Amino acid sequence: MTLIIYGDYLCPYCRRLRFVVARLRQTLGEHFAYVFRHFPNEAVHPGANYLARVAEAAGKQGRLWDMHDWLYEQEPPLPEEQVSGFARELGLDMAQLQRDLDSDEIKARVEQDLADGRRNGVTGTPALFINGMRYDGAWDFHSMLEALELPVASRLQHSARAFANLPASGGLVLLLAAAAALVCMNTPLAPLYRHFIDSPFGIGPLAPFSP
């Protein structure tokens, strides 16, 4: 069971969600995988990108999750002096931390998470994906636990219903059908496709059965 969260260390909703995630991890144990991806909204939360890079830089010294948890436990704003103070408490090499913080590698790591999030339709935080599918349900423990434990067939059925309710779903289906028809007409499947569309069919009451 996998939970992927796109989060921002200064997002108040992400901060509340961490308690639910902690309870899920405790309840599900080794059957639960939690993945955090950075999606700092610098325009709304100035300094969020810096904090994302700090967490990744701490990770270069094996302390990502210590920094991650601490950042969410603090009340914003989080000045650099306060963050540096905690880094010293963790025993981090401060010179290395600063080099990593400013490195192209760490910047690219955060930018990659942002790009992945946008490709997956993320526009705000927190954005949740449960077992590979977007989760738009309630953010309480019981709702998320139920979603994590749903069998694959139920999740697919739920996703299909959600897609069918989208205003643009009908147009998208028509576009896909047209693309499929073009493919069929220009491949060895063309004879079978012509036979299918030229086959007569009708709708009406069944004819009486004669022995």
Q: Tens digits of per-residue pLDDT, 1-37? A: 999 999 999 999 999 999 999 999 999 999 999 999 9
2-152: CATH architecture:
3-Layer(aba) Sandwich (3.40)
**Does residue 135 register a pLDDT over 70?**
yes
* Residues 6+ positions from 158 with CB-CB distance below 8 Å: 150
166 pLDDT more than 60: no
* Residue tagged 């910047």 (tokens): 107
Amino acid at 164: A
Q: What is the pLDDT of residue 209?
A: 44
Mean pLDDT, the chain, rounded, equals 85
- So what's the pLDDT on residue 203? 52
pLDDT at 170 over 70: no
Vertex 96: Cα angle to 92 and 101 (nearest 5): 100
Within the chain, where are the H helices?
12-28, 48-59, 64-73, 80-89, 94-101, 104-119, 141-149, 152-164, 169-185, 190-198
pLDDT per position as a tens digit, 77-93: 999 999 999 999 999 99
Q: Are 117 and 127 in contact (CB under 8 A)?
A: yes
Answer whether residue 205 shows pLDDT above 90: no
The Cα–Cα gap between 58 and 87 comes to 8
Angle between helices 94-101 and 48-59 (to 10 degrees): 130
**For range 87-105, the mean pLDDT:** 97
48 vs 43: CA distance, rounded Å:
9
Contacts for 114 with CB less than 8 Å, ≥ 6 apart: 38, 39, 40
Domains of the chain, residue spans: 2-152, 166-198
Per-residue model confidence (pLDDT) at position 193? 60
Judge contact between 69 and 19, C-beta under 8 A.
no
Residue 127 has pLDDT above 80, yes or no: yes
Side chain identity at residue 96, one-letter code: Q
- Residue 36: closest CA among 145, 151, 111, 113: 113
What is the model's pLDDT at position 186?
Answer: 72
